[in-house]
Amino acid sequence: MTDGPRILPLFGDFEPPAAEAAGQAPGPRAGLGATGDGPLKRLVDDNFLQYAAYVIRDRAIPDLDDGLKPVQRRILFSLHENDDGKFIKVANIVGYCMQFHPHGDASIGDALVTLANRQYLIERQGNFGNLVTGDPAAAPRYIECRLTELARTQIFNNDLTDFVPSYDGRKKEPVSLPAKIPLLLMLGAEGIAVGISTRILPHNFAELLGAEIAVLEKKPFTLLPDFPQGGLMDARAYDAGRGYVLVRARLEKKDEHTLTIREIPAGTTTDTLIASIEDASRKGKVKIRSIHDFTAENPEIEIHLPPDEDPDRAMEALYAFTQCQVQISSRIVVIREQKPVEMDVDEIVRHTTSRLVAILRKELQRRRRRLVEEMHRHTLVRIFVENRLYKGLEACASPGEAEQAVREALAPFRAEMQRDLTHDDVEALLGIPIRRISHFDVEKNRKEIEKLREELGGVETDLSGLVPYAIRYLRSLLRKYAADYPRRTEIAAFGTISERELTADALEIRYDRAKGYLGHKVQGEGMITCSPLDRLLLVWKDGRCRIVAPPDKLFVDTTLIHCAVVDRERVLTAVYEHDFFVYCKKFQVGRMSTNREARFAPKGAAVRFFSADDPAELYVRYTADERVKIRQQRFSLAKHPARGRDARGLVMTANAIEYIGPEKAPDWDDALTGPPGKFLDH
C-alpha cells in the first residue's frame, strides 16, 4: 500500500484475451461477461483498491505523526495562512480550505466545529453548538474563530514542514504539521473506512505531557481517557487503548425523592439520556414519577421518584438500564508510513516523545545557523568599518574591482569570521549607507556580538543535552497551560450491578383465563413476578411449549397450564395421554430458541400433569371400571431417567386416569392401593 494501488482508466483500452488476439471467437469466460480474471474484474478490483486506499489514508484514519486527519490538517493550515490575530468568519475559512479539500463545504464546516469544540486549537466566537444538549452550530456565516495561542506556538513551523501540491496543483499543502504536542491522544478520533475503523479516546493535556516527561526520564506511566462532558469513569478494562471504559453520569441526591444529573457520559446528550430513562421506566426497569430538564450551559436533569422508591436503588437501576452508564470501546488504528497500523496508547506516547525530540533538534539546529549568520554579519560590518576598509573602494572603477578589493582587504581577518566570505557578504558590505558608517558604534556592535555568542552557547548546550532540554520544554508548557485544561472525568472503580436483582420483581405477569391473554398489562389472575430481563417458559395442555420475553399483552389462548421463569437446566416432569396410553416424561428445556414453539409431547396428546419440580413419586387413581382390578397406584420417579425434549416418555398405564399428583388425593384409600407402578419403554 506504500506505493499505492495500480490505477486503471475507467474507460480505457484493455489488452484482449489471447483467443481474440488470434482472431478466434472469445470463450465463455472472456470479455465483459467474464467471471474469472477478465478486464471488467480487473477494472473493478483495481478501482476498488484505489478507493479503499484513498478513504483509509486521506479521509477516515488520522496520521500518527501529527495526529490529524487530512481535513483537520487543512483546516488548521487554512487558519494559519489567514491568521492575523483577529476572529475570522468560519465561512471564509471553509471557502479557503476548499482549495485543499475537494469534498464540499459541509464536511469542512462540520469538521471545523468538532475541532473547535475540543477547545485546544481553535478559539470560538458565536454559537458552535452544545455538546451537552446536542444542539447544532449556527451557520458558518454567523460564527467566527481563530487559532489559540497553543496552536500558534506548538503546531506550525513552515521551515520544518514538507509541502505537496493540492488536488488541483494550484496550491501547496502540508504533508504533516510539526506539532510538538500529542494531538492524536489530546483530540481523540473516530473514523470508518473500507474494512477498517478507528476509535481513539481523548486524553488530558497535562497528563499527556507528564507521560512524555516520564518517557524521557525512563519512568513508568499510565494514561486514561478524559472526556469533555465529565462524568465518572471506570477504566480498569482500558488496557492502554485496546479495551473499553465504563462512563457514568454524575448523579446527586437532591432530597429523599429527587435525583439530579449534573454531568452526562460522553457520547450522549441530555435528550438521548432522558429518552433512555423514559424507555426504561415504560419497561418497568426504573421507577420514576417524573423527569424535568433544566439544562442551560451545564446539564441539570431532575428525576423525581415515587414515595416508596429507595434513591440508592434507583441510582443503581439508572446505571444498569439507561444511558447514565455507557461502555465506550477503544481501537487505535492510525496511518504510519502510509499504512494503517493498530497501536496502543503507550506506543503512541513513545512515538510522539521521540518526534518531539526530533523537532526540537531541528529547531535548535536552525536557530544555531541563524545565530552564526548574525554573528558573521556583525563581525564583517565591524571589521569593515572599524578598520576603514571602505576607503580602498575609492580607486575602484567597476563593481568587479570593488568586490576584489573588499575580498583582499578582509583576507587578513579570516580568523575572526565564522565562515568563508561569499558574494552576498560582499554585496551587503558594499550596500552599507554612508550615514550608517559615520554613526557606527563599535562598542554597541561588540555587545551585540557577545550577546549572540552567549545565545549560541546556550543553543549548543541544549543540542548536546536534548533530553533535559525537552523535559524543560514540556515543563514550561505545563506551567503555562495545565491550569487551562484540568481533568474533567473523575476516575473511579464501579461496583458490580446485578441488573436481574434490581428488577427481580419489577413486573407482575397476569393471566386472563377467560380471554386467553397473558402479560404485565393484563387484568387477571397473578401468575408470577419477574424481571424484564427474564425469559418465561409457557406450557400448553396439548404439549406445546415456548420461551418468550415478559410480554405487555400476549394472546396465549385458554389452555395455558404453566408460566414461570425458565431454567434451561431444570428437570421438568410431564404426564400425558396419547393413543390410548399414558406416558411419563422427565426432560430439560435445553437449547430452545426464544419465540419458537416446540413440543414435549406428540400432536394429539393431552397433558394430565405438569410440574417444574422433580417430584419423588406420583399417586395415580384410575377411573372406576369393572375391568380395572387396581384402582390406585404409586409410581416412584427416583430412577426415572431424564430424556431429551423431543423424546417419547415411558409408558405408565393404558387405563384411564381419574387423578394424578405428587400428593395423595384427599379421599385416598390405602386399602385400595395396588403394587408400585412400573414404567415401560414403549
* Nearest to 73, CA basis, from 176, 3, 226, 191: 176
Name the 3-class secondary structure at 69: coil
CA gap 411, 407 in Å, rounded: 6
Cα(first)–Cα(last) distance of the chain, in Å? Answer: 69
CA gap 584, 148 in Å, rounded: 81
CA gap 503, 500 in Å, rounded: 5
* Nearest to 651, CA basis, from 662, 629, 635: 635
CA gap 349, 208 in Å, rounded: 8
The Cβ of residue 549 has, within 10 Å, a number of other Cβ atoms equal to 13
CA gap 167, 104 in Å, rounded: 13
* Residue 279 CB partners (closer than 8 Å, separation 6+): 322
Catalytic residue among 51, 96, 120, 142: 142
Q: Quick one: which H or E segment has residue 210? A: helix 205-216
In which residue are the cell numbers 441526591 written? 253
Name the amino acid, one letter, at 495. Answer: G
CA gap 548, 414 in Å, rounded: 97
* Residue 151 CB partners (closer than 8 Å, separation 6+): 76, 79, 120, 121, 122
CA gap 205, 483 in Å, rounded: 10
Which residues, in sequence order, are bridge partners of residue 588? Answer: 571
Check if 576 is active-site: no
Q: Phi then psi for 456, rounded to 5 degrees?
A: -65, -40
Q: What is each CA distance from 95 to 102, 113, 116, 631, in whole angstroms?
A: 11, 15, 17, 97
Contact by Cβ (8 Å): 474, 213: yes
219: cell is 519512568
* Residue 98 CB partners (closer than 8 Å, separation 6+): 104, 105, 108
The Cβ of residue 36 has, within 10 Å, a number of other Cβ atoms equal to 9
Number of H helices, E strands in the chain: 17, 33
Q: What is each CA distance from 354 to 164, 225, 340, 359, in whole angstroms?
A: 24, 22, 20, 9
Contact by Cβ (8 Å): 172, 166: yes
* Nearest to 346, CA basis, from 224, 513, 232, 473: 224
Q: Phi then psi for 32, rounded to 5 degrees?
A: -70, -20
CA gap 132, 376 in Å, rounded: 59
Name the 3-class secondary structure at 514: coil
Alpha helices for 332-441 (secondary structure H): 345-386, 399-410, 423-430, 434-438
Active site (catalytic) residues: 142
